[in-house]
Amino acid sequence: MLIKKIFQTPRSLALLIAIIVSLLTGIGFVLISTLPKNQQLLILIAYTLFVFTITFLASLILVNLFVSKRIKPLYKALYSIDKANADLVEELDQNNLLQRLEYDLRIWVEAHADEIDRLKQMERYRKEFLGNVSHELKTPIFNIQGYVLTLLDGGLEDPTINRRYLERTEKSINRLIGIVEDLELITKLEAGELQLNMERFNIINLIEETFEALEHRARKRNITVKFDKDYSKPIWVYADKKRISQALYNLVINSINYGKDGGKTTVSITDIGTRVQVEVNDNGIGIDQKDLPRIFERFYRVDKSRSREQGGTGLGLAIVKHIIEGHKQVIGVRSSLNQGTTFSFTLDKPGR
């Protein structure tokens, strides 16, 4: 324990060297004072050389021990190299080892501080994600449980409620299936495991098919879905048709869910050289600026009660983002509260 304390700091080493020198000097003084005067000078010179040699060797040994105990582990941790003590002492002798260690250690601390912050953030997201998944799954499961218990308690024989409760049970089951399928899809997208089947297709036709699929939903909400103008000619793109259809569906249904009564959703296409830009614009409730940075996160909801009421999984926009980025394209959003929202993304044109 005492040896470990001695090599903890340079100050303790210096103290030990001072003690050694003081003891040798004291012993020498006593010995020289007992000699005849005509021999004292010669003995003093010889003894001085002896003290210098002993002190130098002791200092060298102590420095080597200090390097071995303190600097070597730090060097190994920073550079993953097990360097010999002698080499480290030589570098220390050249007056650049400590400067390099100080600089590299500072860089290492900064880099790992960022990594630690990132890991903490990931842990927060993980907990939030698990909490959201639990909540999303719990709601339809409890609904199903309630409907089934009601039917078992006699509702099954009551023709006024049995079919209605079975239909509600089916709706909750479909919502569960939707959540599981979306989770599976986004997991594959994030892991880069989903293969894109690239093909040439007319984006105008795909948007028209999306309008037709959501016509009933839009009419129910008294919202008009349309193009910004008449596109008489086809506009060809090169992408995975199925995935882009899914992205368009999610964006348009999102605009309907967050639209105002009597509102409208407008889709426009712009030629931007080797790409086309698709915009889905609505005049709905809009998004607060503080929510915009998180709008593409899994399960993030701007209006929680409203989106759950519409039956969404909370994964739609996250899936859209990963689909578009999987095509090596960009997606953006701009919005003003109570004025509306515009989502835009790009797609490549077919090669010539």
Residue 100 included in any domain: no
State residue 88 phi and psi, 5-degree precision: -65, -40
Residue 224 included in any domain: yes
Number of separate domains in the chain: 3
Residue 240 included in any domain: yes
Residues 185 and 204 in one domain: no
Given 65, 94, 123, the domain boundary residue is 94
Residues 36 and 155 in one domain: no
Residues 203 and 336 in one domain: yes
Q: How far is CA 271 from the centre of its chain?
A: 34
| pLDDT at position 95 | 53
Residues 164 and 242 in one domain: no
Residue 296 included in any domain: yes
Residues 154 and 265 in one domain: no
| CA gap 298, 317 in Å, rounded | 8
Residue 35 included in any domain: yes
| pLDDT at position 126 | 72
Q: Say what the alpha-carbon torsion angle 168, 171, 175, 178 is, to the nearest 10 degrees.
A: 170
Residues 203 and 187 in one domain: no
Residues 78 and 141 in one domain: no
DSSP conformation class of 35: S
| pLDDT at position 8 | 45
DSSP conformation class of 285: S
Residues 312 and 209 in one domain: yes
Residue 300 included in any domain: yes
pTM above 0.85, yes or no: no
pLDDT tens per residue across all 352 residues of the chain: 444 444 445 556 566 666 667 676 767 666 666 767 666 666 667 767 776 777 767 666 666 666 666 666 665 665 656 555 555 555 555 556 566 666 666 766 777 777 777 778 778 777 777 777 777 788 788 888 888 888 888 877 888 888 888 888 888 888 888 788 878 887 887 777 778 899 999 999 999 999 999 998 899 889 999 999 999 899 999 999 999 999 999 999 989 988 888 899 999 999 988 999 999 999 988 888 888 888 887 777 666 544 445 555 678 888 899 999 989 999 999 998 888 999 999 999 997 5
Residues 180 and 229 in one domain: no
Residues 273 and 330 in one domain: yes
Given 173, 191, 209, the domain boundary residue is 191
| pLDDT at position 206 | 94
Token digits of residue 78 = 């920073």
Residue 126 included in any domain: no
Residues 146 and 288 in one domain: no
CATH of the domain at 231: 3.30.565.10
Domain residues for the domain of 23 are 2-94
Residues 69 and 147 in one domain: no
Secondary structure E strands in 197-339: 198-202, 224-227, 236-240, 264-272, 275-282, 331-336
